[in-house]
Amino acid sequence: MSKKLPNKVAIVTGASKGIGASIAKHLAAEGASVVVNYSSSKEGADRVVADITKAGGKAVAVQGDVSNKADIDRLFAESKKAFGPLDILVNNAGIYEFVPLEAVTEDLFHKQFNLNVLGLILTSQAAAKQFGPKGGSIINISSVVSTLAPPNASVYVATKGAVDAVTRSLANELGPKKIRVNSINPGMVLTEGVHSAGIAGSDFQKDVESKTPLGRVGQPEDIAPAAVFFASDDSAWLTGETLVIAGGMR
């Protein structure tokens, strides 16, 4: 069967685990050479690269904190050195912290906005410079919280609302350069982060499942095929779209 992304080059930010790792593996399985970006978990990133190469794909791990412009410049330079000019950027790196209004601090605000919003804009800027005349695809990983807006999450919800708005704005701005910009908005997905936050198996998870028409929370593998779709020519006439993947939860 022919692959959907032959000779393409992709950067996936925050790809050492969870949704990012699954997206990196799925892109590689479709023929893309993948740069597995990580901030701190070298071990996790190396494992993702090993899984990809074992399956016959091409990948390298590159460290970089994408809330830092110098790190972003290095990430994109390393990517070009390894595989040539870029075709696909997946903005997956992000953090969340749920706190009530009275616990919000300036530090908490800037930490989440610097990575979830500023980092995403700066990586998109770097990608737009590197995409060739054929254009490219930027895929932002947002969240269903941007519309669900749960309590005790004002800052995180604000970052994801911003990501949705940035997606639409950049789609309008970059369309003439044949660069498509779309967003995937997952519901609750059982990632390592969700496990370490103590959410997996909690009453909160059960509550989410009870409100989800398909009756379960997601797995990283539920999200990754949509990234392949947005990266490939299957979505050649789609830009500025927000795809909610949340088992029907709205």
List the catalytic residues.
Answer: 156
- The tokens for 43 are 């071990």
Instruction: List Cα–Cα distances, 152 to 17, 37, 68, 100, 237, in angstroms.
Output: 25, 30, 27, 4, 38
Nearest one of 63, 62, 55 to 9, comparing CA atoms = 62
Nearest one of 189, 94, 96, 175 to 138, comparing CA atoms = 175
Residue 196's pLDDT is 81
Beta strands in the chain (DSSP E): 9-12, 33-38, 58-63, 88-91, 136-141, 179-186, 242-245
pTM of the model: 0.97
Close Cβ partners of 142 (under 8 Å, ≥ 6 residues apart) = 160, 163, 164, 167, 183, 184, 185, 242
Pairing of strands 88-91, 58-63: unpaired
Q: Domains in the chain, start-ordered, CATH in brackets?
A: 9-244 (3.40.50.720)
pLDDT in tens, the chain (250 residues): 799 999 999 999 999 999 999 999 999 999 999 999 999 999 999 999 999 999 999 999 999 999 999 999 999 999 999 999 999 999 999 999 999 999 999 999 999 999 999 999 999 999 999 999 999 999 999 999 999 999 999 999 999 999 999 999 999 999 999 999 999 999 999 998 888 888 889 998 999 999 999 999 999 999 999 999 999 999 999 999 999 999 999 8
Residue 155's pLDDT is 98
Q: Say if residues 121 and 139 touch (Cβ distance below 8 Å).
A: no
Residue 192's pLDDT is 86
Residue 9's pLDDT is 98
CA 83 centroid distance within chain = 20
Task: Fill in the amino acid letter for 181.
Answer: V
CA distance 209 to 95: 23
> 155: burial class by Cβ within 10 Å (0-12, 13-18, 19+)?
buried
Buried b (16+ CB within 10 A) or exposed e, 56-71: ebbbbbbbbbbbbeeb
- The tokens for 54 are 């074992």
